């Protein structure tokens, strides 16, 4: 028996070929596409504008719709987190952030993560596997339905969940293409942000393939020695990453965000801020400061409010726009660096 298909893994051409192989006219593929990406129906049996026989055929051929194993909502109602099962039993987490007039979904791109940032719970698992484009998109479909059920609309997408998006470039790129397809999700690329720890060659590819998508780079340190202590994966240096960002900046003309997790007594001094400002001088950029969100097993502690504001002020005095991220969802472990995707395994 053939392996079941994931409809969201099929691009337009592949979907058209599937429908043609079932002896159906080509317009049926367009109907299926609209059902998935505009109406959010991933279960063929719910695609009521299709003939009943075709619905049955597609249902027998495709993977069943998988509901979240668990959904948690923060005490203030601003953030919900879903624990999603994948076909092979892997688990990922997806977060919906409500902040009127925005509704933002935080997508995972990998099960686990290989980057090993010492302050991030996801990296404690290592990389289990890449997510397919369909598995990424299914998170968006789910989040949009949550929003619509509440009388709202999904407006923004951020690739800031589990995993390193640019280490799964082809699938993330395909997901972006369908998120921005006018006949797909129909989102403006300016409402999509890809966050990376820094893979220079793929920062350059992103600028070429998706020049109006927003780039966020998790730098976390102004120099290579300190960064290697915080992000111990071998590879690109701070110089290489900043150079790639400068190229991205010149090619796209867009403003880049540098994300910087502050750890008490490690990288949060005014001297660190001054070196960071010097490092990124000349780049059209904004620095998003993130006081550490504690999680079991991660290294470091949260800096004082005074230290955080002092770091921000030191950047601003040197002409670098900087803000402190508004924390949402930390009470359900849905904030930056807290996603794990293994809670039902008893590993949290």
Q: Read out DSSP for 51-100?
A: -HHHHHHHHHHBPPP---SEEEE-TTSSEEEEEEE-TTS-EEEEEEEEET
- The CB density around residue 332, as the number of other CB atoms within 10 Å, is 17
Give domain limits for the chain.
7-61, 78-345
**How high is the pLDDT of residue 333?**
54
Residue 261: helix, strand or coil by DSSP?
A: strand
- pTM of the full structure: 0.92
Structure tokens at 204: 């350059």
- Given a cut of 90, is residue 109 above it in pLDDT? yes
CA distance 228 to 111: 23
**How high is the pLDDT of residue 347?**
38
- Given a cut of 90, is residue 313 above it in pLDDT? yes
User: In this structure, are strands 156-159 and 70-73 parallel, antiparallel, or unpaired?
Assistant: unpaired
- Element containing residue 171 per DSSP (H, E): helix 169-179
Give CATH for domain 78-345: 3.20.20.70
pLDDT band at 233 (very low <50, low <70, confident <90, very high): confident
CATH architecture designation of domain 7-61: Orthogonal Bundle (1.10)
pLDDT band at 1 (very low <50, low <70, confident <90, very high): very low
- Whether residue 333 contacts residue 342, with contact meaning beta carbons closer than 8 Å, is answered with no
Closest by CA position to 288, among listed 318, 264, 258, 263: 258
CA distance 77 to 303: 26
User: In this structure, are strands 127-130 and 110-112 parallel, antiparallel, or unpaired?
Assistant: antiparallel
Active site residues: 93, 336
The least confident of 119-123, 187-191, 316-320 is 119-123
- Whether residue 130 contacts residue 110, with contact meaning beta carbons closer than 8 Å, is answered with yes
């Amino acid at each position: 028996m053939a392996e079941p298909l994931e409809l969201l893994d099929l691009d337009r051409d592949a979907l058209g070929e599937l429908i043609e192989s079932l002896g159906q006219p080509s317009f049926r593929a367009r109907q299926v596409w609209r059902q998935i990406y505009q109406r959010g129906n991933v279960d063929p049996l719910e695609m009521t504008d299709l003939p009943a026989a075709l619905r049955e055929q597609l249902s027998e051929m495709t993977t069943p719709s998988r509901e979240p194993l668990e959904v948690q909502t923060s005490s203030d109602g601003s953030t919900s987190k879903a624990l999603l099962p994948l076909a092979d039993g892997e688990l990922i987490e997806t977060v919906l952030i409500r902040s009127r007039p925005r509704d933002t979904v935080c997508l995972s791109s990998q099960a686990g993560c290989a980057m090993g940032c010492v302050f991030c719970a996801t990296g404690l698992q290592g990389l289990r596997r890449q997510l397919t484009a369909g598995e990424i998109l299914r998170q968006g479909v789910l989040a949009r339905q949550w929003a619509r059920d509440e009388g709202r609309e999904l407006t923004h997408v951020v690739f800031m969940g589990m995993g390193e998006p640019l280490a799964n470039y082809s699938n993330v790129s395909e997901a972006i293409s369908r998120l921005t397809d006018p006949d797909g999700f129909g989102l403006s690329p300016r409402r999509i942000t890809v966050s990376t720890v820094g893979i220079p060659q793929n920062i350059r590819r992103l600028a070429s393939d998706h020049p109006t998508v927003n780039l966020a780079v998790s730098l976390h340190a102004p120099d290579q020695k300190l960064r290697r202590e915080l992000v111990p994966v071998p590879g690109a240096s701070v110089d290489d990453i900043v150079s790639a960002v400068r190229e991205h900046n010149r090619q796209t003309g867009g403003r880049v965000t540098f994300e910087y997790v502050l750890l008490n007594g490690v990288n949060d001094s005014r001297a660190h801020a001054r070196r960071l400002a010097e490092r990124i001088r000349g780049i059209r950029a904004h620095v998003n400061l993130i006081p550490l969100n504690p999680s079991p097993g991660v290294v470091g502690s949260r800096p004082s409010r005074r230290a955080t504001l002092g770091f921000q002020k030191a950047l601003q005095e040197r002409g670098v726009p900087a803000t402190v991220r508004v924390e949402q969802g930390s009470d359900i472990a849905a904030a930056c660096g807290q996603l794990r995707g293994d809670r039902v395994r008893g590993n949290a």
